[in-house]
A and B are shown apart, each in its own frame.
Chain A
């Protein structure tokens, strides 16, 4: 059974860079697509983008200028960086595994990142 676990700082200062890592167990990240989705407190879900094939990426155009995703197959991890953060980036960030239909069939528990 694939399991995902987000990690990273829970507090980031405005204008700085948010960096998160998702560690995958129970499967190789080389063979699937991996995404980040976020949820501001008390609000709905926003798709950030996905990474696959050792580093090919597709991002939400609304975030594309500030977002970078990458993969480290040696550690079975993938990562998210968001630059120039503001309070609007405060959210629970989820990493997910995507299947061919675009569906997220496995989710991490989520990590709250506060920009303040």
Chain B
């Protein structure tokens, strides 16, 4: 299985400040079709996860442009340009290159 490792696991942020979450995979997530099969999800407190970014850097429908994704091969980053109170929750990366799909441990973002 591809192992996904996130850091940090806890991220206190002041509203208006930027935030960054790292995700590393044990194997390259680059498919022969040229796409990176890496997703980012946010699970807000008491809710189901919601898709933020797919194929590494594509925002899902309705996701604010303060969220962005980057990276290649095995190192990926989710960036929030200016954190808002509604961004609190647990962020997960997930690889969809290889069966079984696997998730990172999660990064809990909260407001200072």
Contact = CB atoms under 8 A, between A and B. Distances in A.
Nearest to A108: B48
Interface residues of B, number: 24
Interface size class of A (residues with CB under 8 A): 20 to 34
B103 A110 contact: no
Interface string B90-112: 00101011011111111000000
Interface stretch (B14-22, B50-58, B76-84): B50-58
Interface in A46-83: 46-47, 49, 58, 60-62
Given A102-B37, A103-B39, A47 B103 contact: yes
Interface of A: 44-47, 49, 58, 60-62, 94, 99, 101-105, 107-110
Given A44-B106, A61-B99, 16 more contacts: A44-B92, A44-B103, A44-B105, A45-B94, A47-B100, A47-B103, A60-B100, A62-B100, A101-B35, A101-B54, A102-B96, A103-B39, A103-B54, A104-B51, A105-B51, A107-B50
